[in-house]
Structure 1
């Protein structure tokens, strides 16, 4: 039981760090578009923030407007089954707590796969979208019409976003709030600069053609640097993953090779200190690796 509480606590810390990173990215956008409220964080506002984070975390399983996602549901079911089987064979912990951890882990995996698909689609479509919008702006169209023209020629997540933005601008909604909502759905750096460029152009009449041209060139250079970085760090990243997995593999094999030692580590009060050291050192090691690679 104590071990499961420790696992839940470590995973909770990981989720907290993820939430803080997401909040910092969103705060950067809010700061630019002057949406920071000077009012204190009341209960209602805090509730809305928690709802936004929970909806974002479970986005791979359920999304408001589109309903449940079949792939996310399958991942969630597999996670629950795997955790229950592992608990029955190895751990024998409280089933309710195992269910909670399994749901959180399954939702995290579903969200990860969902974000990977979104990122891949976004990276393949965004350069083309910049060219189309820049061409429409050069032809004398306004921003709303340029987004509409680009929407007709692209597909995927950007097609949906451009449709939502152009509709909001046409009905007279606040551009700052439209862009903030869009950035929540696609929190990418290049998309952030794209939205801020549109906002500056709407507010001050800046020359959008030159800005989008430079953004397109910067995006191409960034993609080339990203590919080079991934190639140079692939061996180190794979080595760190293998090193982190080795203790868990040995713990799994210990169940069959030496059941007495496994029971001592998992169920004995004195042996639990070994388990706590094992989990703590793994968690600390992952944090150190993430810290060292934070700027790579």
Structure 2
């Protein structure tokens, strides 16, 4: 028994010694490494996601904020009226569900719209940069031309990038800030090329041409994936819509059953079961589709 404790203590001391040596060696390899706690990392990530959500909500233009807030308030009051007249759920529950759906809808719709704008406009950015570099213009002049010739939010983004670089802001800070609004791998490769070229120079035209070919191949592959999964996605949407249509049908054709589901505590259990199983099933379908693509 004593031998067991001796071996156990020796193993613990050996583990501590190994960890100490590893930490010392790591500090020698990277003496300037700064430790960031997981809480700070999570908070920074949350701030970035919140800023991106706000960007989606205002459609990239601050003047749209009041208009969009007014639209949301109108939709919320209409939802409360419909709930009072037909569904008769608890008002607090309706407000909570509306808030969650509002945040998710803005995020999903804004991300999809942002991605669509990027896929449409970014090939034009590559063409404009190729034309400008072929004509002998510098990279800053090429970025200015992108902001002038490209329409939409991506064009506005390049105007913003050019203005900040022109007044002498740090290249890395400007481009990383832009990447938070356009978090796509193609844009990351692009800003990496731009940053290296601005800091150290290089063959801009050849690298941009290669990036353009890679983006074209990636878009073709993405279109093939969407075509292969379109039938499954449509089937999932149709199946998911069945309970909603049946709920509306039951309201007008079977009002007694509708009142039982809405008002009676036992009926509420049935309703919660249907909603929970529906959300669970759609979540599984979404997870499978995400893995497939």
CA 1:57–1:158: 2 relative to 1, 3 Å: closer
Provide structure 2 residue ranges, at least 5 long, that are not aligned to the other structure.
1-32
1:154 maps onto 2:150 in alignment:
yes
Measured in 2, the distance between the counterparts of 1:119 and 1:74 equals 26
CA 1:137–1:115: 2 relative to 1, 3 Å: same
> Does the 8 Å contact 1:79/1:105 carry over to 2?
no
Residue in 2 that maps onto 1:13? none
1:53 maps onto 2:39 in alignment:
no
> Does the 8 Å contact 1:147/1:162 carry over to 2?
yes
- The one of 22, 36, 40 aligned to 2:37: 40
SS in 2 for 1:271: helix
CA 1:169–1:58: 2 relative to 1, 3 Å: closer
For structure 1, which segment, 86-95 or 60-69, has the greater mean C-alpha deviation from structure 2 after superposition?
60-69
Alpha-carbon displacement from aligned partner over 1:43-97 (angstroms, at most 9, x marks no partner): 8x87665454334334454478623357734652453144213312343233344
Query: In the TM superposition, what is the alpha-carbon distance from 1:243 to its structure 2 partner?
Result: 0.3
Residue in 2 that maps onto 1:230? 226
Residue in 2 that maps onto 1:221? 217
Measured in 1, the distance between the counterparts of 2:101 and 2:56 equals 12
TM-score (norm 2): 0.74
Provide structure 1 residue ranges, at least 5 long, that are not aligned to the other structure.
1-35
Query: In the TM superposition, what is the alpha-carbon distance from 1:108 to its structure 2 partner?
Result: 4.3
Measured in 2, the distance between the counterparts of 1:48 and 1:270 equals 45
1:187 maps onto 2:216 in alignment:
no
Greater fraction of residues in helix? 2
Measured in 2, the distance between the counterparts of 1:64 and 1:149 equals 20
Residue in 2 that maps onto 1:27? none
Residue in 2 that maps onto 1:92? 88
> Does the 8 Å contact 1:265/1:275 carry over to 2?
yes
SS in 1 for 2:245: helix
- The one of 272, 278, 284 aligned to 1:282: 278
Residue in 2 that maps onto 1:273? 269
For structure 1, which segment, 173-182 or 138-147, has the greater mean C-alpha deviation from structure 2 after superposition?
138-147
Higher relative contact order (CA 8 A, sep 6+): 1
Measured in 2, the distance between the counterparts of 1:149 and 1:99 equals 47
Query: In the TM superposition, what is the alpha-carbon distance from 1:239 to its structure 2 partner?
Result: 0.9
> Does the 8 Å contact 1:76/1:110 carry over to 2?
no
- The one of 185, 198, 207 aligned to 1:211: 207
For structure 1, which segment, 52-61 or 128-137, has the greater mean C-alpha deviation from structure 2 after superposition?
52-61
CA 1:78–1:189: 2 relative to 1, 3 Å: farther
Measured in 1, the distance between the counterparts of 2:115 and 2:39 equals 34
Rg (Cα) greater in structure: 2
Q: How many residues matched? A: 260
